A and B are shown apart, each in its own frame.
Chain A
Amino acid sequence: MNTKTTATLVAGALAAAVSMAAATMTAHAADQEKCYGVSLAGQNDCAAGAHSCQGQSTMDYDPASFKLVPAGTCLSMKDGKPSLEPMNG
């Protein structure tokens, strides 16, 4: 692609971007496929990584032969690939 073609492409794209941005402003239902679809906004987990100076009243048990088998929401995601069957401990 030569410089001139690129310049023309970019200028045209900016004009399109401006009209898309305007459309987003007026109707919030912009095309989520084409635009940058918001998957998650907010949900501030403000305590993440917070420091404090207390001792821990809960005990961390360290079982010597803990069988590591994931057992969360992963089990409901097995429709896709790869398979998410729980490991055989």
Chain B
Amino acid sequence: MIGRNQSAVISQRVFPASRHEGRAGAGLKPEHLPAILEQANAVGFFEVHAENYMGAGGPPHAALTRIRNDYPVTLHGICMSIGGPDALDRDHLARFRTLVERYEPALVSEHLAWSTHDNVFFNDLLPLPYTERTLARVADHIDEVQEAIARPLLLENPSTYLQFEQSTMSETDFIREIARRTGCGLLLDVNNVFVSSTNQHGSPMDYLMDFPLDHVGEIHLAGHASREDDEGEILLIDSHDRPVADPVWDLYDIVIRQCGPVPTLIEWDSELPQWPVLKAEADAAQAILDRHADNYLLGARHAVHA
């Protein structure tokens, strides 16, 4: 497991050693800061979006430093545009690296998606066709990121809403080959699995059975919204604006039974609830992690993947 290898790395630590393994965490929102600071060990860890801390100074860094003194922090990049045809932006990569060095995150992740093309930033996680050509490009980009930050990256599976005529392989085959070529870990977003599988008329269980679970170093859970497609059938939107849906909790339970207690994040990015509501979601994930922790200690994970 990625997190395990990292904790073996000896480095000069500014912050206390991370205890994120087997824990559930929450996305850090400045709005929740006062409530969080009133509690001790509110959740297992906090995740931040890297781009929100790429300013030079001010309240964002003051708040994150405060949190980092008490909690493990995981760093989740959004705008690297790893899945795009353009070369990676050197300045952005340098900013990303600076954050990794400054905050010593327990885990570092990015998306299988693109957001910038031809010098226009679209501020969305846009999809790519899965071909030999895009595979080679994405692998090169991940090599470049991992070289810059001198540690493994976790790559997240996307929520998708359409398909490309050009695709020649499945998303799971693509991701498995990326992990094999680059040695990167994977961030399994279980809500994305449910959203994409529903939108692509597939089965989330089939997706999970095809997914290289032994590379998973972190899990994401979030809520989704529902719309209709051209034919009036359900089209799910990865909206992060409500509680995690029941079928996603069920899938998560299956994944943890299989993978052991992988650090798990609750994402909630708009229509923010009061802190106790978000914390309750993280507590629910923690309960599932704890329930399966015994099996993990007994070696279930190794038995499955032996």
Direct contact of A and B (CB under 8 A): yes
Q: Contact check, B237 vs A56: say whether CB atoms are below 8 A apart.
A: yes
Chain B contacts of A18 at CB under 8 A? none
Q: Contact check, B49 vs A47: say whether CB atoms are below 8 A apart.
A: no
Decide yes or no whether A50 CB sits under 8 A from chain B. Answer: yes
Cα A28 to Cα B59 in complex, Å, equals: 26
Across the two chains, which residue of chain A brings its CB closest to B238? A55
Q: Contact check, B49 vs A52: say whether CB atoms are below 8 A apart.
A: yes
Q: Chain A nearest CB: distance from B291 CB in Å?
A: 28
Q: Contact check, A54 vs B239: say whether CB atoms are below 8 A apart.
A: yes
Decide yes or no whether A4 CB sits under 8 A from chain B. Answer: no
Number of interface residues of B (CB under 8 A): 26
Number of interface residues of A (CB under 8 A): 11
Chain B contacts of A56 at CB under 8 A? 237, 239
Q: Contact check, A54 vs B59: say whether CB atoms are below 8 A apart.
A: no
Q: Chain B nearest CB: distance from A37 CB in Å?
A: 23
A55 touching B239 in the complex, CB below 8 Å, given contacts A46-B30, A46-B60, A47-B30: yes
Cα A52 to Cα B241 in complex, Å, equals: 11
Across the two chains, which residue of chain A brings its CB closest to B222? A54
Q: Contact check, A55 vs B237: say whether CB atoms are below 8 A apart.
A: yes
Cα A71 to Cα B29 in complex, Å, equals: 32
Q: Mark each residue of chain B from 87 to 121: 1 if its CB lies under 8 Å from any CB of chain A, else 0.
A: 00000000000000000000000010000000000
Q: Mark each residue of chain B from 136 to 177: 1 if its CB lies under 8 Å from any CB of chain A, else 0.
A: 000000000000000000000001000000000000000000
Q: Contact check, A47 vs B269: say whether CB atoms are below 8 A apart.
A: no
Cα A44 to Cα B30 in complex, Å, equals: 10
Across the two chains, which residue of chain A brings its CB closest to B156? A53
A57 touching B225 in the complex, CB below 8 Å, given contacts A46-B60, A47-B30, A50-B52: yes
Q: B residues near A, CB below 8 A?
A: 29-31, 49, 51-52, 59-60, 76, 78-79, 111, 123-125, 159, 222, 225, 237-241, 267, 269-270
* Other 6 A-B pairs with CB < 8 A, given A47-B30, A52-B78: A52-B270, A54-B270, A55-B124, A55-B239, A55-B240, A57-B239
Q: Sample 15 A-B pairs with CB under 8 A, ordered by A number.
A: A46-B30, A46-B60, A47-B29, A50-B49, A51-B52, A51-B123, A52-B269, A52-B270, A53-B240, A53-B267, A54-B241, A54-B270, A55-B124, A55-B240, A57-B237
